[in-house]
């Protein structure tokens, strides 16, 4: 595949949840080039996670056509996912969960290693590299349930990196973190983008959580893309403030 080709290409995508009549995302057109770092922002309930999970095929879309790496998503889900790292939104983890950090990071490679094969020395080397990159190598043998929010997020990021993905999908990777952890993860994302030239699509509901390397912002509201431009233009736009103000009013 050529470098300038769209690594993600969504054409008129609409996704409806089971039992619902109104699509969560409507007529989405999104083209992402190799190596881009984009942020999808929007208020709560705008359909950000739905859009992200339509890209890696975790959610089926009902209308439109979608391609990742030039392949149809709906027909190549499992194959495509092996090259897409996904960091899901913070989930509650049982503090007694019986998993060591190194095993969780290795679990990112499960699909890539493939069925009926065992992890090799090389696979473990990739795991150690990913853990070192996020600064968590000393936590290899620690139980995952004992980590703080920021540490946990780094391990989940290392898990996605161990997959050696071509695309990294991040769902609110900075939410529920304290300021210093937010900064650390942000720096990490910039470093990963520079070092590996991975295409990164990051979802956030907070305008202040846009990493420095992110050059394009997509604003999603009520399931539709209402703005798609470079970071500076979007952040200066008056509309954007209005959207987030409306969201605050809705919540009040």
Partner 1 sequence: MNSIPWMFLLPSIFGAVLAGFACSAMGNFVVRMNLSSIGYCMSHAAFAGAAFGLLITVDPMLTAVLFAIITALVLGPIAEKARLENNIVIGFMFSFMIALAFIFLYAKPGEAATGKALSILWGSLFSVDFNDVILLSVLSFILLLFIIIFYKELLSVMFNRKMAESSGVNTRIFYFAVLFFTGFAVALSLKIVGGLLVFALIINPTSTSYQFFYDFKKIMIFSPVFGILSCLVGFYFSWIYDFPIGASIVIVSALLFAISIILSPKRKKGKRKQKK
Beta bridge partners of 28: 13
Q: Smaller CB distance to partner 1: residue 22 or 97?
A: 97
Binding-residue total with partner 1 (CB under 8 A): 37
Residue 143 C-beta: closest distance to partner 1, Å: 4
- Residue 92 interacting with partner 1 (CB under 8 A): no
Measuring CA to CA, how many Å separate 161 from each of 8, 103, 109, 169?
A: 19, 14, 9, 11
- Residue 140 interacting with partner 1 (CB under 8 A): no
- Residue 122 interacting with partner 1 (CB under 8 A): no
Answer for which of 3, 4, 21, 115 binds partner 1 (CB under 8 A) is 115
Q: Smaller CB distance to partner 1: residue 159 or 182?
A: 159
106 alpha-carbon distance from chain centroid: 18
Residue 59 C-beta: closest distance to partner 1, Å: 11
Write the DSSP string, 37-70. Answer: EEEEE--TTSSHHHHHHHHTTSS--SEEEEEETT
- Residue 195 interacting with partner 1 (CB under 8 A): no
Contacts of residue 211, Cβ cutoff 8 Å, sequence gap at least 6: 37, 39, 186, 189, 190, 193, 202
Find the part of the chain contacting partner 1 (CB under 8 A) among 24-32, 89-97, 194-202, 233-241. 89-97
Residue 212 C-beta: closest distance to partner 1, Å: 27
Helix (H) or strand (E) holding 107: helix 101-107
Contacts of residue 193, Cβ cutoff 8 Å, sequence gap at least 6: 37, 200, 211, 213
Q: Smaller CB distance to partner 1: residue 91 or 252?
A: 91
- Residue 226 interacting with partner 1 (CB under 8 A): no
Binding mask 39-78 for partner 1 (x = CB under 8 A): -----------------x-x-------------------x
Contacts of residue 136, Cβ cutoff 8 Å, sequence gap at least 6: 101, 151, 154, 155, 158
CA nearest to 43, candidates 250, 252, 210, 235: 250
- Residue 91 interacting with partner 1 (CB under 8 A): yes
Find the part of the chain contacting partner 1 (CB under 8 A) among 33-41, 113-121, 184-192, 224-232. 113-121
Separation CA 241–CA 251 (nearest Å): 15
C-beta of residue 91 within 8 angstroms of C-beta of residue 165: no
Answer for which of 88, 137, 207, 235 binds partner 1 (CB under 8 A) is 88
- Residue 252 interacting with partner 1 (CB under 8 A): no
Sign of CA dihedral 186, 90, 134, 203: negative
Q: Smaller CB distance to partner 1: residue 17 or 183?
A: 17
In the complex, the residues that contact partner 1 under the rule CB under 8 A are 56, 58, 78-79, 81-82, 84-86, 88, 91, 96-100, 103-104, 106-113, 115-116, 118-119, 143-146, 156, 159, 163
């Amino acid at each position: 595949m050529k470098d300038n080709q769209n690594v993600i290409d969504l054409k008129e995508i609409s996704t409806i949840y089971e039992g619902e009549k109104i699509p969560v995302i409507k007529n989405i057109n999104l083209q992402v080039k190799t190596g881009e770092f984009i942020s999808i922002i929007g208020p709560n309930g705008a359909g950000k996670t739905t859009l992200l999970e339509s890209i890696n095929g975790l959610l089926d879309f009902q209308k439109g056509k979608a391609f990742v790496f030039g392949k149809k998503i709906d027909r190549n889900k499992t194959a495509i996912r092996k090259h897409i790292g996904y960091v899901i939104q913070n989930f509650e983890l049982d503090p007694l969960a019986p998993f060591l950090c190194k095993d969780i990071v290795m679990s990112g490679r499960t699909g890539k290693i493939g069925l009926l094969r065992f992890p090799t020395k090389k696979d473990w080397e990739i795991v150690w590299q990913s853990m070192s990159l996020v600064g968590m190598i000393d936590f290899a043998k620690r139980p995952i349930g004992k980590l703080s929010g920021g540490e946990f997020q780094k391990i989940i990021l290392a898990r996605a990196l161990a997959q050696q993905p071509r695309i990294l999908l991040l769902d609110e990777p900075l939410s529920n973190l304290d300021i210093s952890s937010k900064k650390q993860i942000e720096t990490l994302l910039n470093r990963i983008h520079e070092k590996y030239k991975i295409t990164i699509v990051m979802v956030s509901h907070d305008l202040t959580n846009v990493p420095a390397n992110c050059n394009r912002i997509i604003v999603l509201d009520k399931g539709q893309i209402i703005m798609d431009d470079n970071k500076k233009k979007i952040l200066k736009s008056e509309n954007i403030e209005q959207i987030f103000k409306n969201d605050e009013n809705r919540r009040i």
